[in-house]
Chains A and B, each alone.
Chain A
Amino acid sequence: MSTALTALSALAATAADATSGSVEIGGTVADLVFVAVVLTAIAGTVLAIARPWELRGGRFVDKIRVGEAVSSYDFWLSLRGVTGRRRRELRAELRANLWEATQRVGAKEAIAAVGPLRTLAFDSVPERRGPRWGYGVAAGFVALEVFLMVQVFLATVVADTAQAAGVPRVDVAVTLVPGMGVQYEEVGEGFSVGTDFGPACLVVALVAFVLVAQPWRLLHRRSAVPA
């Protein structure tokens, strides 16, 4: 960390002299395809939840608002641990009621009348005593994202430090995190930066998932006396 901070200071001092270069990310077309697939999957999921084609008549902007509200409600239901058929039923019911209200008072008022969607979701279903899988998955993704951002920051620091020092090739291994490293190499007029995430990123995500989801709650649920 101190090495990174020192390098960051050097970066700040020599920022004006830093050479700009291109960073190979290995397969630009593949990356674009990946991004397109992810965006399509997200759009498909949102549409499947919002189902705007069921909202007949009315203004387009109201359909968007109702769809957005239903998606937000669905998100809170997922964090509450509601899955499958029950979650679809609750979503469909809210969608129907909101649309009825929208046709009377408009979408803005209809959505305002149901109050905070988090509260609506949490009040509609009792809290499960079991593991919080939804929260766990969210925490795992956040931890992974933070880890990746640190990795990108490290790669930036290494690249800028190497350029400032005029070193054509650098191979950095983070001793505290096995398998994690950054490689910098001058290539022609530009440079190439590669990163190794190692198993640490998965470990970090898994630890966050376990700590938040608390799968040991399964034991509590099995030993709980049924109501």
Chain B
Amino acid sequence: MAGHDPQMLKGVLSLLLLELCAQQEDYGYALVVRLQGLGFPELAEGTVYPALSRLESQGLLEARLVRSASGPARKYYTPTAAGAAERVRARQAWDALVVAVAAVRTDSVRTQEVPT
């Protein structure tokens, strides 16, 4: 399967991370693995880690440290109340965008089908 458009992916990364953290709190590398398994194989750690830092700085995610038997303590993320609200807003924005794009595509198809 071809990779996703990087610019489009950039636009939805925050929503993806908020969704995953809402489903189950997790730490950076585990979130990368989950995203790669869910159909985003091109998403690399270098993209996800800064996004998590930004979401935390913006107050949309909060973190706690959990001791690990295999190494340093892991930083688990979970959405804050503001993050939950942002997740709802972003979902609605995404749904609206999908509908609008679909409408344009439908109109384009209809225009192409009109005999000249």
Contact = CB atoms under 8 A, between A and B. Distances in A.
Interface of A: 51, 54-57, 89-90, 92-97, 99-101, 103, 110, 113-116, 119-120, 123-126
A125 B75 CA distance: 17
Interface string B23-39: 00001111000000000
B72 interface: yes
A51 B73 CA distance: 12
B72 A55 contact: yes
Given A56-B71, A96-B72, A101-B29, A90 B46 contact: no
B112 to A, nearest CB: 42
Interface stretch (B1-9, B49-57, B87-95, B96-104): B49-57
A124 B44 contact: no
A100 B29 contact: yes
Nearest to A123: B50
Nearest to A51: B72
A99 B53 contact: no
A96 B44 contact: no
Interface of B: 27-30, 44-46, 49-50, 53-54, 57, 68-75
Given A97-B27, A100-B29, A115 B71 contact: no
Main secondary structure of the interface of A (DSSP, over half): helix
Nearest to B73: A96
Contacts of B30: 100
A94 B27 contact: no
A67 to B, nearest CB: 12
A30 B30 CA distance: 52
Contacts of B53: 90, 124-125
A97 B45 contact: yes
B7 to A, nearest CB: 16
A124 B50 contact: yes
Contacts of A92: 72-73, 75
Interface-central residue, A94, A95, A100, A115, by most chain B CB under 10 Å: A100
Interface-central residue, B49, B68, B71, B75, by most chain A CB under 10 Å: B71
Contacts of B46: 113-116, 119-120, 123
B45 A100 contact: no
Nearest to A89: B75
Contact of B49 (A55, A97, A110): A97
Nearest to A90: B53
Contacts of B50: 120, 123-124
A97 B44 contact: no
A125 B49 CA distance: 11
A160 to B, nearest CB: 52
